[in-house]
Amino acid sequence: MTKGTALITGASSGIGAVYAERLAQRGFDLVVVARDIDRLNALSRRLSNDNGIAITPISADLANTADLGRVLAKVENEESLTLLVNCAGVGPKGPLLGSGTESLDQMVQLNVEVLHSLTVTAAKTFAARGRGAIINIASVVALMPERFNPSYVASKAFVLAMTQALSAELEPHGVQIQAVLPGFTRTELFDRAGIDINVIPPEMIMEAADMVDAALAGFDRREVITIPSLEDVRLWDEMERARTSLAPYLSLRHAAARYADGRSA
Ligand SMILES: NC(=O)c1ccc[n+]([C@@H]2O[C@H](COP(=O)([O-])OP(=O)(O)OC[C@H]3O[C@@H](n4cnc5c(N)ncnc54)[C@H](OP(=O)(O)O)[C@@H]3O)[C@@H](O)[C@H]2O)c1
C-alpha cells in the first residue's frame, strides 16, 4: 500500500529535512524542494537507500517566479501527491527598525506569498480529488507579537490565520490541514540570520527531530493547530473560546457606547 507522494519545501536542512526523513520512514514517496541541490541529492540518496522509496529532488529558489511556477505545476499535476509540507522559510536578522526594507520584503515574500500560492494550489487540487493534506509551518511568535520582529511575526500570523480559515473550507472535501507552531528549534535558521543560538536559554530550545515527531503526532490526531511544547492544551482551548465569544459583537450596525462621544455635533 502506497501512502502517495509528499512534497516538502525547505527540505535541505532543519525542520524540512526531518519531515523528509520521517515521511520516508512512513512509506511516502517524496519530492524535496530547496535551492541547495547537493544537499537535496545527498538526502535523497540516503532516504531512498534506507527506506526503498522514490525521491525527486527539485532545485528551486521559491522567491523566483519561474522556479515557483515549476513547483506549483508539480503540485497541480503530480497525480500521486497526497501531502504538501510548507517548510521553506527565513527568519529576521534583528528588529525591524534596524533591518533593510528589501530583506524584510524578501522574508515576507517567502514566508507568506510563496506559502500562500502553494497552499491555494494544493487546496484546490486536493479538494477536487477528495483527498490530501497540507502541513504549514508557522511559529509560536504568531501568539506573541510584541516579542519579535514584526514582519516575521506577521508572516507567521498569516500562516496561522490562513490555515485556520482554510480548514473550515477543506473539511467537507476530505482534505486535512494543520498549522505547526514551533518555539525555538535547533536548526540553521539562527546561523542564517546571524543570531547566536547560545544566547537563548537551553530549556527553551527543542531539537528539530522532537519538534517534528510531536507535530506528526498532532497531525495523526487531525489537530488543526499543533503547539509542540504546550503541555496544558486547555490554555489554547480557553484562548479559542475567548476569541470565538467575541463573534456576536464584531460586526453590528451601531458603534459601541464608549465611542458615542466621538460623534461630531
Ligand atoms: N528554527 C526555529 O526556531 C523555528 C521556529 C518556528 C518556526 N520555524 C520555521 O520553520 C521553517 C523551517 O525553518 P528551519 O528552522 O528548519 O530553518 P533552516 O534549517 O534554515 O531551513 C530553511 C529551509 O528553507 C529553505 N529555503 C530558504 N530560502 C529558500 C528559497 N528562497 N527557496 C527555496 N527554499 C528556501 C532552505 O534551503 P536552501 O537554503 O537549500 O534553499 C532550508 O531548507 C521556517 O518556515 C521557519 O520560519 C523555525
The full length of the chain comes to: 265
Q: What is the pLDDT of residue 261?
A: 75
Q: Tell me phi and psi for residue 201, to 5 degrees.
A: -55, 130
Is the beta carbon of 10 within 6 A of some atom in ligand 1?
yes
pLDDT-derived band at 1 (thresholds 50, 70, 90) equals low
Best residue for ligand 1 mutational test, from 8, 15, 159 (most atoms within 8 Å of Cβ): 15
CA of 43 to the centre of ligand 1 (A): 16
Locate 217 and state its grid cell: 503526532
> Considering the domain 5-234, what is its CATH architecture?
3-Layer(aba) Sandwich (3.40)
Of 151, 15, 155, nearest to 94 (Cα)?
Answer: 151
Q: Which tens digit of pLDDT belongs to each residue from 110-139? A: 999 999 999 999 999 999 999 999 999 999
DSSP letter assigned to residue 47: H
Predicted confidence (pLDDT) at residue 5 exceeds the cutoff of 90:
yes
Mean pLDDT of the chain: 96
Q: What are the structural domain ranges in the chain?
A: 5-234
Locate 68 and state its grid cell: 515557483
Q: Which tens digit of pLDDT belongs to each residue from 45-78? A: 999 999 999 999 999 999 999 999 999 999 999 9
Distance of CA 56 to the CA centre of its chain: 21
The answer to whether the beta carbons of residues 6 and 82 sit under 8 Å apart is yes
**249 contacts: CB under 8 Å, gap ≥ 6:** none
Predicted confidence (pLDDT) at residue 210 exceeds the cutoff of 90:
yes
> Nearest residue CA, atom 47 of ligand 1?
89
Q: Is 114 exposed, middle or buried (0-12, 13-18, 19+ CB in 10 A)?
A: buried
Q: How does strand 225-226 pair with strand 175-180?
A: parallel
Report the atom number in ligand 1 closest to the C-alpha of 9. 34
Q: Which tens digit of pLDDT belongs to each residue from 224-256? A: 999 999 999 999 999 999 999 999 999 999 999
Locate 233 and state its grid cell: 492544551
Q: Which tens digit of pLDDT belongs to each residue from 23-33? A: 999 999 999 99
Best residue for ligand 1 mutational test, from 12, 38, 195, 205 (most atoms within 8 Å of Cβ): 12
CA of 243 to the centre of ligand 1 (A): 30
Q: How does strand 5-9 pair with strand 225-226?
A: unpaired
The answer to whether the beta carbons of residues 141 and 152 sit under 8 Å apart is yes
Q: What is the pLDDT of residue 263?
A: 62
Q: What is the pLDDT of residue 145?
A: 94
Q: Which tens digit of pLDDT belongs to each residue from 149-181? A: 999 999 999 999 999 999 999 999 999 999 999
Percentage of the chain exceeding pLDDT 90: 95
